[in-house]
């Protein structure tokens, strides 16, 4: 690849040398990639002002190596205006994508879902269902999808049965107890399968997603999650939202 034009959004930006930035970008055409943009850090150029999170961009890139060079930078549409809990949620999605995606492997369905999720966050849609939907789609796109309609034997999940989850095996029927973290009713699992979000199905999806992502993220915690806990959880919940 010598020159290519891609549609993307910035996941992370950091200073590089005296006047440049290193960028991590999620694009429709290339998936996640890294690029350097030179000579803009100390300027007041339009290019610098556009290189912000949640701003859809049309980007001109060049280079055959892992680190691309960024040339053209244009806004492809209006930025997603995120504030408060929605902003923390967008930061969480960006860091999660940046940490788990393999470089230069396209994920077109995931990219579309990412943009849609940011749009819905900007429209003040309920945060938790949006995050749980996206997490489950991301896991499936990475090959770690969880089936909620069949058990480990390939049998249909029954609404009146309880199940516990075994990684890499799936759901197994069990007797209800008070000391089993991965135990949920079949009714809750079928709600998740149908994207019918209740407090119980949201809790189940969150627990499973956290466990799955912990294997991918290793021992290094997400900075956005820590920031959320420090900054947002000290304030009263808005409309009952608990967010990330």
Of 54, 52, 16, 50, give the one whose Cα is nearest residue 35: 16
Report CA 106 to chain centroid distance, whole Å: 15
Same domain for 152 and 169 = yes
Determine which of 15-19, 97-101, 179-183 has the lowest per-residue pLDDT on average: 179-183
Backbone angles phi, psi at 118, to 5 degrees: -60, -40
Q: Which of 75, 104, 128 is the last residue of a domain?
A: 75
Q: Average pLDDT, whole number, for the chain?
A: 89
Question: What pLDDT, on the 0 to 100 scale, is given for residue 126?
Answer: 95
**147, 240: one domain:** yes
Measured between alpha carbons, how far is residue 21 from residues 17, 37, 55, 147, 156 in Å? 8, 5, 17, 41, 51
In contact, 111 and 27? CB cutoff 8 Å: yes
**Domain final residue pick, 75, 104, 132:** 75
Q: Give yes or no for residue 98 having a pLDDT over 80.
A: yes
Q: What is the pLDDT of residue 223?
A: 82
Same domain, 128 and 60: no
pLDDT digits (tens, 9 = 90+) for 42-81: 777 778 889 999 999 999 999 878 899 999 999 999 999 9
Question: Is residue 141 domain-shared with residue 205, that is, in the same domain?
Answer: yes
pLDDT of amino acid 205: 96
Beta bridge partners of 35: 23, 68
pTM over 0.85: yes
> Which residues face 9 on adjacent strands?
26
The DSSP H or E segment spanning 173 is strand 170-174
Quick one: what percent of the chain has pLDDT higher than 90? 72
Of 131, 196, 139, the closest CA to residue 167 belongs to: 139
The C-alpha atoms of residue 9 and residue 56 are separated, in whole angstroms, by 5
**How many structural domains compose the chain?**
2
pLDDT value at residue 26: 98
Verify that 25 and 109 share a domain, yes or no.
no
pLDDT confidence bin for 39, thresholds 50/70/90: confident
Per-residue pLDDT, 238: 42
The residue among 56, 75, 94 that closes a domain is 75
What value, to the nearest 5°, has the Cα angle with vertex 39 and ends 36 and 45? 110
User: Which neighbouring-strand residues pair with 162?
Assistant: 174, 185
pLDDT (tens digit, 9 = 90+) per residue, 208-239? 999 999 889 887 878 877 777 666 555 444 44
Q: Tokens 């820590």 identify what position?
A: 226
Q: Is the domain of 105 the same as that of 129?
A: yes
CA 2 to chain centre: 30
Tell me: pLDDT of 164 over 90.
yes
Same domain? For 65 and 93 the reply is no
The answer to whether residues 114 and 8 belong to one domain is: no
For the domain that residue 69 is a member of, what is the CATH number?
2.40.50.140
pLDDT of residue 43: 73
Specify the 3-state DSSP secondary structure of 79: coil
Position 19 scores a pLDDT of 84
Looking at the structure, tell me whether residues 53 and 95 fall in a common domain: no
Give the domain CATH number at 138.
1.20.1440.120
Together in a domain, 184 and 145: yes
Are residues 188 and 148 part of one domain?
yes
Sequence-distant (6+) residues with CB within 8 A of 114 are: 9, 26, 93, 97, 134
All residues at 6 or more sequence positions from 197 whose CB lies less than 8 Å from its CB, including other chains: 128, 129, 132, 191
pLDDT digits (tens, 9 = 90+) for 117-128: 999 999 999 999
Say whether both 189 and 204 belong to one domain: yes
The pair of three-digit structure tokens given for residue 164, joined into one six-digit string? 């516990």
Weakest mean pLDDT among 25-29, 64-68, 106-110: 64-68
Domain range for 47 is 3-75
Query: 244 falls in which pLDDT band (50, 70, 90)?
Result: low
């Amino acid at each position: 690849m010598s020159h290519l034009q891609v549609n993307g959004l910035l996941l992370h930006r950091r200073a590089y040398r005296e006047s440049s930035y290193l960028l991590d970008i999620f694009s429709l055409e290339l998936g996640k990639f890294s690029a350097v943009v030179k000579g803009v850090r100390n300027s007041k150029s339009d290019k610098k002002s556009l290189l912000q999170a949640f701003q859809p961009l049309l980007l001109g890139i060049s280079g055959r190596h892992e680190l691309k060079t960024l040339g053209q930078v244009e806004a492809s549409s209006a930025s997603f205006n995120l504030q408060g809990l929605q902003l923390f949620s967008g930061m969480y999605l960006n860091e999660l994508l940046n940490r788990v995606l393999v470089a230069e492997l396209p994920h077109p369905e995931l990219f579309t879902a990412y943009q849609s999720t940011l749009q819905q966050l900007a429209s003040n849609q309920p945060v938790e269902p949006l995050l749980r939907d996206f997490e489950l789609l991301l896991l499936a796109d990475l090959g770690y999808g969880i089936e909620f309609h069949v058990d480990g034997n390939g049998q249909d999940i029954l609404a009146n049965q309880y199940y516990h989850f075994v990684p890499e095996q799936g759901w197994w029927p069990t007797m209800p107890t008070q000391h089993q973290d991965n135990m949920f009713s079949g009714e809750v699992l079928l709600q998740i399968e149908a994207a019918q979000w209740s407090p119980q199905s949201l809790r189940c999806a969150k627990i499973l997603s956290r466990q799955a992502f912990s294997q991918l993220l290793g021992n290094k915690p997400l900075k956005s999650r820590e920031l959320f806990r420090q900054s947002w959880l000290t304030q009263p919940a808005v409309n009952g939202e608990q967010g990330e």
